[in-house]
Amino acid sequence: MQRDSAAEYFFSLTDDALSVIKNDPLREVVRPYSYRIENEEDVKLDSKLDAIINDRSGNETAAEAKRENAKTPRLSFLRLNDLLQDCHACDSWLNRNERTEAGHGALKPIFVFVLDRVAEDGSFMSANEEVFFSKWLAALHLDARKECYFTSVIKCPSSGGYIPQECENILIQQLEALRPAVVMMLGSAGALITTGSGDIFKAREKIHDYHGFRTVCSFSPSQVLEDYQSLRRPIWEDLKKAARIAGIDGRLS
C-alpha cells in the first residue's frame, strides 16, 4: 500500500496543533491519523482537473480573464483600506474601529485566503484558529508574510449572515490589485459568492473562475476544528489542489 508523505506530514502537524489547543499532550482526545493511499488516483488530480489547471480544457474563459487582468492598472494597495473606511453602504460600518482593515499580507501574494468575516479586534481568525492554520501553511511550505494575503468576505464586524454587495465589490478590487496565483475561499460565505450556494461540499467539486481568478472553495479553520476527524483529509486535498494551481506543488515532495 502506497504512502503519501506530504499528507502524513500535514496530519502530523495538525494533530500536534490540535493536541496543544485542546491541552491533550497524551493524545487521549486527538487520535493520531495514519494516512494510507490505496492507489495513485486517490492522490492525483484527474486528467479533467489537470486540463483546467493548465488551461488546456478548450475553455479559454479563465485564460482570457487573466489576460484582461494583466491590462488593468492595479488599484493602489493603500487605497484598498481607504475603500473600506469610506464605505457606508450598510449599518455595519458603525461596528468599524481603528483595527478594522480590508486585509493584510504580502503585496504580491501567491495565495489569497478569504475567510467569512472579520472580528471586532480586526482579526480574521481566533488565536486557536491561527495556531491551527499556521500548520496548514507549514505543510505547504508557504511564508505567511511574504507569500500570502488574508482578507474576508464580510468586511465589517457583524453578527448577521447577510453579505452586502459593497463587501464583495471591495473583495474583487482587492484581488484585481493583488493578482494572486490562486484564491482559497475558506467558509460558507466564500462558497456562496463563488457558486451562488453556501454548500462547501458541492463547491469543492471543481475549480472556479471567480472574476478571472482561479479559486478553490474549502472549509475554514473554525469548521475543521469543530469536526477535525471528518474534515482533515478534505482540507488537505483542497490545499494540495490549490498548491497545484499555484505551481508550488513541488514544495510538497
Global pTM reads 0.82
Question: What would the DSSP string read from start to end of 160-202?
Answer: S----HHHHHHHHHHHHHH--SEEEEESHHHHHHHHSS--HHH
Predicted local confidence at residue 97, as pLDDT: 81
Instruction: Kindly tell me if the per-residue pLDDT of 37 is higher than 70.
Output: no
pLDDT in tens, 139-154: 999 999 999 999 999 9
State how far Cα 244 lies from the chain centre: 14
Residue 221 vs residue 80, higher pLDDT: 221
Query: Which of 205, 204, 109, 100 minimizes the C-alpha distance to 158?
Result: 100
Domain boundaries, position 79: 61-252
Report if residue 27 sits inside a domain.
no
Predicted local confidence at residue 83, as pLDDT: 77
Among 69-73, 76-80, 157-161, 207-211, the least confident range: 69-73
Report if residue 18 sits inside a domain.
no
Report if residue 169 sits inside a domain.
yes
Predicted local confidence at residue 50, as pLDDT: 62
Backbone angles phi and psi of 134, in degrees to 5: -60, -30
Report if residue 16 sits inside a domain.
no
Question: What would the DSSP string read from start to end of 15-35?
Answer: HHHHHHHTT-TT-SSS-----
What confidence tier does 159 reach under pLDDT thresholds 50, 70, 90?
Answer: low
Contact criterion met (CB below 8 Å) for 164 and 93: no
| Cell numbers placing 108 | 504580491
List the CATH number of the domain containing 212.
Answer: 3.40.470.10
Q: What is the mean pLDDT of the chain?
A: 81
pLDDT in tens, 62-73: 444 444 444 444
Report if residue 11 sits inside a domain.
no
Predicted local confidence at residue 107, as pLDDT: 86
Number of domains in the chain: 1
Report if residue 217 sits inside a domain.
yes
Report if residue 39 sits inside a domain.
no
Report if residue 30 sits inside a domain.
no
Query: Which of 148, 141, 150 minimizes the C-alpha distance to 123?
Result: 150
Contact criterion met (CB below 8 Å) for 148 and 105: yes
